[in-house]
Amino acid sequence: MPYGWIGQLLRVDLTSGSCAKEPLNMKWAAEYIGGRGLGTRYLYEEMDPSVDALAPENRLIFATGPLTGTYAPTGGRYMVICKSPLTDAVACSNSGGYWGPELKFAGYDMVILEGRSPRPVYLWINNDHAEIRDAAHVWGKNTEETEDTLRAETDPQARISGIGPAGENLNRVACVINDKSRAAGRSGVGAVMGSKNVKAIVVRGTGAISVADPLTFGEIVFESMKEINASPTTSMALRGMGTASTVGFTNAVGMLPTNNFQTGQFEHADAISGQTIAKTVLKRNKGCYSCPIGCARVTEIKPGGKYSGHGEGPEYETIFGLGSDCGVGDLDAVLYANYLCNLYAVDTISAGGTVATAMELVERGYIPPEDLVEVGTELKFGNADAVMRCLELMSYPKGKFSKLLAEGGYRLAEHYGHPELFMGSKKQDFAAYDPRGAKGMGLGYATSNRGACHLRGYSMTVEWFAPPDQRVDAFTPDGKAAIQKELQDKAAAEDAVGVCTFASFAATPPEKLAPMYNACTGENLSVEDWMKAGDRIWNLERLFNNGAGLSRKDDSLPPRMTREPLSNGAVQNQVVELAQMLAEYYRVRGWDDDGNPKAETLARLGI
């Protein structure tokens, strides 16, 4: 067994109903680190990027990294990789929880689903044994009911990753949920699972993962744990208030997207902030597998109000998506909407973005009233009832409008003749940082291979959150291309190896992660090699996208970002100078003017 790896993947042909084990391609594993990189390598090899994302020809790959399942800090991640039905680009959604490690303990580094099952099924993997089982009895059920039912009929210690009604109904912002509340959230990977008629993958494993150099590995890990505990970002902000700790800051400077990015400050921001959550609805914090940070929020809506329930969340992104961006400042409503998204299994960012887009279309009178009858309540900013109703409609689409909601914000806005009101890039909604206040984020949104995403190149770290002596001017477009490239390559390598990007805030820069990877796998990558592997992953994703028909025109931002300045907070009067940054970015990346990697770039990276 190779160190860090199991060395085996499970291939499931859903059309014929067969499961087969095969050896992992260790050459690719070494070149692409694992997870996001390795999964994309298989995807690129095995499918034509131009096929419809919801066709049986699309692959759906569940991939772990070499650190997944070890005690590396935050070493519990897995990724879902496929062609996205939302962006028509590569999709790679990352999730924590416990499912990824369990897959490795069961004896597989990856699962590749191909074809389409003639009927609803789930996959039951019990160590060596893998079988396709009928899922008629859980089809239509929400994620909680599904998980409880499937665990009861398999193993009490089984871990489950699967879809809710939204994915079954091919909602383009449907996600995959594991462990009831951890989401491989973005780019509609849940719809691809639904298109294959697969409800869930249930896993139980009792095997082991070995590492090459246990002594060195242990030393690096324990040192990282100390750093995470010493860093205020990880041990105080994230552990104490979760990702929601960011609300106060973004609102203060005017970067908290509100009412579909029409403003950057929200009058009810305090009511939905991390501090308020910690003081009111928070029951306790929680960590994913091997996580020393523990940013997850276990919450409960206090009884007596309009809503009730308990679950995990909200994250900062959810507070924006289902809160400020829809003008909703009632914390209970945000929590309830979050729980609904987890039950239906839709991405809280894009579901919120879709509703916010619809609200602005209505505000401007672009949607005829007869189309809105289905909603049954006024679709306007601030109306929490409308948010709940839209989440239900997009997960169980029946009429014309609900079907449009299930297509996501871009297609909805395009249908009504105003695609410019969709706030995103490559048809995927922006995350919760208005890029007009951090130009690097603007370039990052535009160039992200999976469509707008804050995690692909999280330049907030250097544009706003770094110590003053290391901070770069958030408002200048100069130099942002090189910063984005470095951050994108770094994040690609993190995703590939199987850790969470939050660990890198305190303890796992490439200088630490590369040696940790080496001690785990027995490879011998320098920091330079490590960043080059990230670069390689990024370029391969780009090649997939270009093969799918994407080009420079898709590295775009809506005119609101490039022409309409914000009028509030410290970031007022700013727009994103995208054209300038993009030209520089292509140069830094070694791409031609159309955004195609040059031959010498591919040769340098060994692609």
Partner 1 sequence: MKMILAHPQKCVSCHLCEGACSFKHEGAFQPAKTRIHVHDFVDEAMYVPVTCFHCSDAPCLSNCPTYAITRDADGMVHVNDDKCIGCKMCLVACPFSVMSFHEEKNVSQNCDLCGGDPQCVKICTYDALEYVDVEPIEWAVRLDIAERPAATAS
Q: Which of 268, 279, 283 is nearest to 323 (CA)?
A: 268
**Beta strands per DSSP E along 32-139:** 60-64, 78-83, 90-95, 110-114, 121-126, 129-134
Nearer to partner 1, 235 or 580 (CB): 235
Q: Is 130 among the residues that bind partner 1 (CB under 8 A)? A: no
Nearer CB in complex with partner 1: 36/104? 104
Distance CA 594, CA 585 (A): 12
Question: Please, are residues 59 and 84 in contact by the beta-carbon 8 Å criterion?
Answer: no
The reply on whether position 105 binds partner 1 by CB under 8 A is: yes
Phi, psi of 570 (to 5 degrees): -65, -20
Q: How far is the CB of 312 from partner 1 (least distance, A)?
A: 9
> In angstroms, what is the minimal distance from the CB of 162 to partner 1?
16
Nearer to partner 1, 71 or 249 (CB): 71
* Residue (291 or 481) nearer to partner 1, CB: 291
Find tokens 């990753």 and name the residue.
161
Q: Which of 214, 305 has the CB closer to partner 1?
A: 214
CB of 282 to partner 1, least distance (A): 10
Q: Which is nearer to partner 1, 232 or 549 (CB)?
A: 232
Nearest to 79 by CA among 184, 195, 193, 201: 184
> Is residue 219 a contact point for partner 1 (CB under 8 A)?
no
78, 49 Cβ separation under 8 angstroms: no
The answer to whether 214 contacts partner 1 (rule: CB under 8 A) is yes
Tally the residues of the chain.
607
d(CA 271, CA 253): 17
Q: What is the 8-class DSSP label of residue 524?
A: -
By CB under 8 A, is residue 283 in contact with partner 1? Answer: yes
Q: Does 238 bind partner 1 (CB under 8 A)?
A: no
| Count of residues that bind partner 1 according to CB under 8 A | 40
Among 51, 225, 372, 482, binds partner 1 (CB under 8 A): 225
- Sheet strands side by side (includes 198-204): 129-134, 121-126, 198-204, 159-162, 176-178, 182-184
Interface with partner 1, residue 298, by CB under 8 A:
yes
**179 binding partner 1? (CB under 8 A):** yes
Q: Measuring CA to CA, which residue among 448, 475, 480 is closest to residue 581?
A: 480
Token couple for 424: 């995103």
232 lies in the site for partner 1, by CB under 8 A: no
Binders of partner 1 in range 58-77 (CB under 8 A): 69-71, 76
3-state secondary structure of 200: strand
Stretch that binds partner 1, among 98-106, 255-263, 418-426, 449-457 (CB under 8 A): 98-106
For residue 358, which amino acid is it?
Answer: A
- Site residues for partner 1, window 399-428 (CB under 8 A)? none
Letter for the amino acid at 506?
Answer: A
- As measured in angstroms, the least distance from the Cβ of 534 to partner 1 is 25
Instruction: Locate 445 and state its tokens.
Output: 């949104």
Q: Is 229 in the site for partner 1 (CB under 8 A)?
A: yes
DSSP H helices in 370-464: 384-395, 400-405, 409-415, 439-447, 460
Position among 123, 160, 166, 211 found at the interface with partner 1 (CB under 8 A): 211
Nearest in space to 520 (alpha carbons), one of 2, 4, 75: 4
Residue whose CB is less far from partner 1, 311 or 437: 311
| Range in contact with partner 1 (rule: CB under 8 A) among 25-33, 97-105, 256-264, 321-329 | 97-105
Q: How far is the CB of 283 from partner 1 (least distance, A)?
A: 5
Which CB, 292 or 457, lies closer to partner 1? 292
Q: Which is nearer to partner 1, 96 or 264 (CB)?
A: 96
Q: How many CB atoms lie within 10 A of CB 377?
A: 14
- Give bridge partners of residue 429 from the DSSP assignment: 424
Looking at beta carbons only, is 283 or 471 nearer to partner 1? 283
Angle at 195 (CA atoms; ends 548, 205), nearest 5 degrees: 105
Distance CA(471)–CA(462), nearest Å, equals 5
Task: Pick the binder of partner 1 from 8, 25, 235, 308 (CB under 8 A).
Answer: 235
- Does 98 bind partner 1 (CB under 8 A)? Our answer is yes
Residues in the site for partner 1, rule: CB under 8 A?
69-71, 76, 98, 101, 105, 179-180, 205-211, 214, 218, 221-222, 225, 228-229, 235, 283-294, 296, 298, 300, 310
